Structure 1
């Protein structure tokens, strides 16, 4: 008996149970957030919203530690946040300005402005030593604060959508509307590996331990690469005709990948073959019609628990079942 294609897709999708009940849940913003980032170890989060500006949270205590104002006496319009891998600094940006903050005492390190184009994505290295700014004109700026050195990477021909930086600031991964993702050396601006896609590259991520690179386009191709060799490790086994990612995180042991999407979905994948293992759905934003939320950030808390921050304004803890 032959079944319609849509019926077969339904059967495949329905094999994955979607969890909607969180183990724990904390409201960080009452009216929703613009952006959020979670520390790699899941201990801290930074959230941007109209109500609270830029808020730095201790997730272990669920305590608000700092509140920062990106532009004094102006509405907060910070849509990009980055937390250094060592949790020492937060980088924030609106379309024209970016600022660096210390997490040990809440002090501001500096404010900067770009004169041309607009900021599309940002990243920061350990100790806040290096900043990476992806722009709408296709250029990527790498800044070394100690020396004031600014290197412009001009390998892309269209606007930047996503950037990532190694913990030591030496390597950058950038994705653009030109269908390319480049891994490049921030000392020389030389391209190390090129990862090509059939449509615009919307999301990139680097494993902090230097093992993997993740690249995804605007359709349904998402790939995991070996950083050292540039070889393809796996492609995520995506069923949907179109899949866009808004958050990515590799597990510490390198076996798993966690992703978040603008469709409320958080998904756990196996790195070795790209197989989907488990799926969760975060709380929708209050009053949204239809009920929706963007998953801003995800992280592993332990081998059996994960945490998410979404535009609904909630941090939610979920349980992993490796069955």
Structure 2
């Protein structure tokens, strides 16, 4: 065998190893015994918020594996919370059902207020770092930006069909929204003026903004997932998706925009390089018990440090994964 062939085989084996699925977590613990309707992680992976099947809402310290607060969303007898988010800075969190939401103060575990929407159902929600501004995507195609302190309400009508995903900058000034009208829009929450348009070939199902405001992410129902520079709107990279890639259920930037973390409904947690769109590594989270076929939805992921990722899934598990060097 020639030296060239050996080098080709060696290089290919390294690529396959780096991007192969790994389903063995280094740490795993249960935060919802019978599964979760929704779950999220703080950007630094230190906190998790879960909406469980039988025990309502609970906030956890991930590193200590300890419950911090048990919350009751609107005193509901049956838990209907399907959206939970922890704002940048780990000071505030938000939970939402189809028609109402609650903002929580993480420092003392108290609810800052309860709000009900008397219109179409909530599809996605986001919260600013100071806990004062909320962005709500609705099934009728409208996006609402609320300032909870002043009571100011802005209705954004840039989408013509159902809104699937929303993201809000840490300071609440800018929004990124995606819908069934095949477009993602980056706009000013003070004026409702569209700043950038990101057209797609299918329904836009996922959007994300990098915490420092330098990148945006948009993905559709096809195989188009792209990272854009803000404010220029130029494409930075396109994720190198495979035939096995599923629609994303979670996306977030990590490490000052160096990496992108994604999750899918087919158990897959992935880490991508932002500048190239290349996958560094994939993991398969543990499936929910007694499911056939074995399945789990990845609700959230975060980098604990340079060597580990943490995930939260519908199986009710928090799992820690080692990143290969």
TM-score, normalised to structure 1, is 0.94
Mapping of residues 146-225 of structure 1, within 5 Å? 146-225=149-228
Tell whether the 8 Å contact from 1:218 to 1:242 is kept in structure 2 after alignment: no
Shift of 1:19: 1.0
Residue in 2 aligned with 1:319? 322
Residue in 1 aligned with 2:132? 129
Query: What are the Cα deviations for residues 163-206 of structure 1, in whole angstroms up to 9, with x where unaligned?
Result: 00000000000010101100100000000110110000000000
Shift of 1:99: 0.9
Structure 1 residues 304, 13: closer, same or farther in 2, change over 3 A?
closer
Residue in 1 aligned with 2:21? 18
**In structure 2, how many angstroms separate the alpha carbons of the residues matched to 1:47 and 1:128?**
19
Structure 1 residues 310, 241: closer, same or farther in 2, change over 3 A?
closer
Residue in 2 aligned with 1:294? 297
The yes-or-no answer on 1:92 pairing with 2:85 is: no
Shift of 1:288: 0.8
Residue in 2 aligned with 1:4? none
Which of 239, 243, 246 does residue 246 from structure 2 map onto?
243
**In structure 1, how many angstroms separate the alpha carbons of the residues matched to 2:307 and 2:14?**
25
**In structure 2, how many angstroms separate the alpha carbons of the residues matched to 1:21 and 1:153?**
44
Query: What are the Cα deviations for residues 261-286 of structure 1, in whole angstroms up to 9, with x where unaligned?
Result: 11000111111111111110000001
TM-score, normalised to structure 2, is 0.93
Mapping of residues 2-17 of structure 1, within 5 Å? 16-17=19-20
Shift of 1:243: 2.6
Number of matched pairs: 312
**In structure 2, how many angstroms separate the alpha carbons of the residues matched to 1:34 and 1:227?**
33
Give the match's secondary structure for 1:181: strand
**In structure 2, how many angstroms separate the alpha carbons of the residues matched to 1:144 and 1:156?**
21
The yes-or-no answer on 1:108 pairing with 2:86 is: no
Residue in 1 aligned with 2:4? none
- Structure 1 portions without partners, runs of 5+: 1-10
**In structure 1, how many angstroms separate the alpha carbons of the residues matched to 2:237 and 2:175?**
21
**In structure 1, how many angstroms separate the alpha carbons of the residues matched to 2:177 and 2:28?**
33
Structure 1 residues 188, 146: closer, same or farther in 2, change over 3 A?
same
Tell whether the 8 Å contact from 2:41 to 2:312 is kept in structure 1 after alignment: yes
Tell whether the 8 Å contact from 2:307 to 2:324 is kept in structure 1 after alignment: yes
Residue in 2 aligned with 1:40? 43
Shift of 1:241: 6.4
Residue in 2 aligned with 1:258? 261
Shift of 1:49: 1.4
Which of 59, 80, 83 does residue 80 from structure 1 map onto?
83
Tell whether the 8 Å contact from 2:246 to 2:265 is kept in structure 1 after alignment: no
The structure 1 segments of at least 4 consecutive aligned residues displaced by more than 6 Å after TM superposition are none
Tell whether the 8 Å contact from 1:37 to 1:83 is kept in structure 2 after alignment: yes
Tell whether the 8 Å contact from 2:266 to 2:295 is kept in structure 1 after alignment: yes
